[in-house]
């Protein structure tokens, strides 16, 4: 389960740690959390709640030394979200577009020990307009780490199209609004992903 503390992402400090801990206790599936995680203490607190993976963006951009330390300590449990607008990385809850190309940033992150990424097309996220297959493919083939695609998935055909790219490092997709609006049933999405 992919959870984002949106209030934390905007404020720069995780806001819903207690709620996240409650969710972890009530479900029996792995949970990954992002949003407002900007220091080692918060990362430790999240892992102490039982979270499986922690997702970083702004911390990775602003403090690669700390990221390297965290990757050394937690390994594949650390993911970096590559939040992309027009090919460039955005940080601070998508509020600030950097001048760093997303692919260049991902490559730098791999040098610090990052093994997995979430690629989010900000322009499509939450729109239900479908995914940008060309950009997903271009990004995935430019990096060597594991990748989860996100942004714009509107129906099971979008999941199929991503799967049909046959990218060896693509390990999953994130479906958000399409689940909330019932455009996709979770059961059907899982079935298509496992075809």
Residue 129: domain span: 2-193
Mean predicted lDDT score pLDDT of the chain: 92
Give the C-alpha separation, 26 to 24, whole Å. 6
3-state secondary structure of 147: strand
The CA-atom distances, in angstroms, between 98 and each of 44, 86, 102, 104 are: 28, 11, 9, 12
Structure confidence by residue, pLDDT tens digits, 139-169: 999 998 899 999 889 999 999 999 999 999 9
CATH number at residue 85: 3.20.20.70
Q: Quote the radius of gyration of the chain (alpha carbons, Å).
A: 16
**Quick check: 93 pLDDT over 80?**
no
Q: Which of 146, 25, 166 is nearest to 81 (CA)?
A: 146
Q: Which of 128, 138, 117, 142 is nearest to 56 (CA)?
A: 117
**Quick check: 181 pLDDT over 70?**
yes
Beta-sheet pairing, 146-150 with 170-174:
parallel
Give the C-alpha separation, 40 to 38, whole Å. 7
Give the C-alpha separation, 46 to 154, whole Å. 30
Beta-sheet pairing, 32-34 with 53-56:
parallel
The CA-atom distances, in angstroms, between 9 and each of 81, 90, 112, 132, 179 are: 12, 12, 23, 24, 22
Beta-sheet pairing, 88-91 with 96-101:
antiparallel
Our CA dihedral for 120, 126, 127, 128, rounded to 10 degrees, sits at 90
What's the total number of domains in the chain?
1
**Cβ neighbours for 67, distance < 8 A, ≥ 6 positions apart:** 56, 59, 60, 78, 80, 109, 112, 113, 114
Band (pLDDT 50/70/90 cuts) for residue 96 is low
Tokens of 165: 């790219």
Mean pLDDT, to the nearest integer, of 45-54? 98
Tokens of 30: 């792995």
Q: Model-level pTM?
A: 0.91
């Amino acid at each position: 389960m992919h959870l984002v503390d949106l209030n934390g992402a905007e404020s720069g400090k995780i806001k819903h740690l207690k709620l996240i801990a409650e969710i972890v206790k009530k479900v029996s599936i792995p949970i990954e959390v992002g949003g407002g995680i900007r220091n080692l203490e918060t990362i430790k607190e999240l892992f102490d709640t039982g979270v499986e993976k922690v997702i970083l963006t702004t911390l990775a951009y602003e403090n690669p030394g700390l990221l390297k330390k965290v990757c050394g300590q937690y390994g594949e449990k650390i993911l970096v979200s590559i939040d992309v607008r027009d090919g460039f990385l955005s940080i601070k809850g998508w509020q600030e577009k950097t001048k760093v190309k997303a692919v260049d940033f991902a490559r730098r992150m791999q040098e610090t020990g990052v093994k997995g990424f979430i690629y989010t097309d900000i322009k499509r996220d939450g729109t239900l307009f479908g995914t940008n297959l060309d950009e997903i493919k271009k990004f995935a083939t430019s990096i060597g780490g594991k990748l989860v695609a996100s942004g714009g998935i509107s129906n099971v055909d979008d999941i199929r199209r991503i799967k049909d790219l046959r990218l060896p490092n693509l390990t999953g997709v994130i479906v958000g609004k399409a689940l909330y609006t019932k455009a996709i049933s979770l059961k059907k999405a899982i079935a298509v992903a496992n075809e």
